[in-house]
């Protein structure tokens, strides 16, 4: 049985190629909705978000024990609301304190005010509120000031300055962390929309392409891959998300990669691989399989560790295809054509599992013979075209 797999769409003419926009940002919008409903739930979405909902958490107080992280994790509207309310509440609180100090000292009584007030130019709550703002944000217009008449006023001045510095440090630090989060850098780390399985060095390999759109490097970048599937133990325990690490390799060996240009990362499907019994027919019958790929590294410009994630379901793995080359040498330097980032071509590949290929090596010999016959046929066609072609000189 011969599998007919559709080829990748051609390169788009827009500024942002379709191949990686759909991979990092969203699912394919042209895909029929009924097919999306038939798919099993993803553990990790294509843009790297974990598809896990936390429900019935009884110990909500644990989030308040780590207030800073809770503030950073909040959405921007809630963060800005808390940022505004923290300053307004502190200004109102200390305005009430300043008004009470002036009232207790008799500075607000008309015609009976003390000769030397605790705070000059405070006649109402509005003026006390303005003085509270001037103290906390250190504006100092010069019309209102604390005198040496009331030691309590001096103590409150010190307390409000300390409280104001703490609010500034927490809220500004929170906003800085939200704008400099590591996952923002991961938006420019892209994965191919599809993964492929084909022969490499006479072994079936699972391959994907990864690239970095920025010129700033990802230092000590590493690739990890996990297979997530539903399993049942011999005792009958159902594990809905069984995670199993499998090794990834690249052109230089090991997990560390030099991501200066897009690389093809591959996993050799051997006897230790969980894909050892994966057949082409399993990819078209919604096989209960999800492969999660994780790229980690340190951002060169900020020194923050970042992580980019994606996943591939069974129907997003193309059997018998290979990624087209996208790196070429032009004008003394290497050029990368990202419009072909996710493009693949069909290559001769055995339609069997890696186990069957190891048990019957003659399948590779048959494939080699078929490849040689195709090569001879193409050479014969080329010679025939050259023999019967008419050159422009013969017509003169």
Q: pLDDT in tens for each of the 396 residues of the chain?
A: 333 344 444 444 444 444 444 444 434 444 444 444 455 677 787 777 777 776 766 666 666 667 778 888 888 888 889 889 999 999 999 999 999 998 888 888 766 555 788 888 888 899 999 999 999 988 877 778 888 888 999 999 999 999 999 999 988 888 888 877 766 777 888 899 999 999 988 889 999 999 988 888 888 888 888 888 877 778 877 777 778 888 776 554 556 788 888 888 888 998 888 888 888 888 877 567 888 998 888 888 777 888 888 999 888 899 989 999 998 888 888 888 888 998 999 988 888 888 888 888 777 766 665 555 545 555 555 556 555 554 445 444
Among 69, 91, 64, smallest CA distance to 168 is for 91
- Our measurement of the distance from residue 25's CA atom to the centroid of its chain's CA atoms, rounded to an integer in Å, reads 9
Q: What is the pLDDT of residue 369?
A: 54
User: Which residues neighbour 171 within 8 Å (Cβ) at sequence distance 6 or greater?
Assistant: 82, 83, 86, 87
Q: What is the pLDDT of residue 1?
A: 38
User: Which residues neighbour 236 within 8 Å (Cβ) at sequence distance 6 or greater?
Assistant: none
Q: What is the pLDDT of residue 278?
A: 87
Q: What is the pLDDT of residue 40?
A: 65
pTM of the model: 0.65
d(C-alpha 273, C-alpha 267), whole Å: 9
Q: What is the pLDDT of residue 249?
A: 63
Q: What is the pLDDT of residue 231?
A: 77
CA distance to 71, 123, 393, per residue, from 80 (Å): 10, 33, 78
Q: What is the pLDDT of residue 237?
A: 79
Among 51, 290, 303, 46, smallest CA distance to 187 is for 46
Tokens 């591939």 -> residue: 312
Q: What is the pLDDT of residue 368?
A: 62
Q: Quote the tokens at residue 260.
A: 């200066």
Q: What is the pLDDT of residue 254?
A: 54
d(C-alpha 163, C-alpha 158), whole Å: 9
């Amino acid at each position: 049985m011969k599998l007919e797999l559709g080829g990748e769409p051609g390169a788009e003419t827009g500024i942002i190629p379709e191949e990686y926009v759909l991979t990092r940002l969203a699912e394919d919008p042209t895909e029929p909705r009924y097919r999306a409903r038939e798919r099993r739930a993803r553990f990790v979405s294509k843009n790297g978000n974990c598809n896990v909902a936390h429900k019935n958490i009884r110990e909500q107080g644990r989030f308040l024990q780590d207030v800073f992280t809770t503030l950073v994790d909040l959405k921007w509207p809630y963060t800005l609301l808390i940022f505004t309310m923290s300053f307004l509440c502190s200004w109102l609180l200390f305005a009430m304190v300043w008004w009470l100090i002036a009232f207790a000292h008799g500075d607000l009584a008309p015609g009976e005010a003390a000769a030397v007030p605790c705070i000059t130019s405070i006649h109402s709550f509005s003026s006390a509120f303005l003085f509270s703002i001037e103290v906390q944000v250190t504006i100092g217009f010069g019309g209102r000031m604390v005198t040496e008449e009331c030691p309590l006023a001096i103590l409150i001045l010190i307390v409000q300055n300390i409280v104001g510095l703490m609010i500034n440090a927490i809220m500004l630090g929170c906003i800085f962390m939200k704008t400099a989060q590591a996952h923002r850098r991961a938006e420019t780390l892209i994965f191919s929309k599809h993964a492929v399985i084909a022969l490499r060095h006479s072994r079936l390999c699972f391959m994907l392409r990864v690239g970095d759109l920025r010129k700033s490097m990802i230092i000590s970048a590493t690739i990890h891959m996990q297979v997530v599937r539903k399993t049942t133990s011999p005792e009958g325990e159902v594990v809905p998300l069984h995670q199993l690490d499998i090794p990834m390799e690249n052109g230089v060996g090991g997990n560390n990669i030099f991501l200066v240009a897009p690389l093809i990362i591959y996993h050799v499907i051997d006897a230790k691989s969980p894909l050892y019994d994966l057949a082409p027919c399993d990819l078209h019958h919604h096989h209960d399989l999800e492969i999660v790929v994780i790229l980690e590294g340190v951002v060169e410009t900020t020194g923050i560790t970042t992580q980019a994630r994606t996943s591939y379901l069974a129907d997003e793995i193309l059997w018998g295809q290979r990624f087209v080359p996208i790196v070429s040498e032009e004008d003394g330097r290497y050029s990368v054509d990202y419009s072909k980032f996710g493009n693949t071509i069909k290559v001769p590949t055995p339609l069997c599992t890696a186990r069957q290929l190891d048990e019957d090596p003659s399948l590779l010999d048959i494939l080699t013979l078929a490849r040689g016959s195709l090569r001879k046929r193409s050479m014969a066609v080329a010679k025939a075209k050259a023999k019967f072609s008419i050159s422009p000189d013969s017509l003169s």
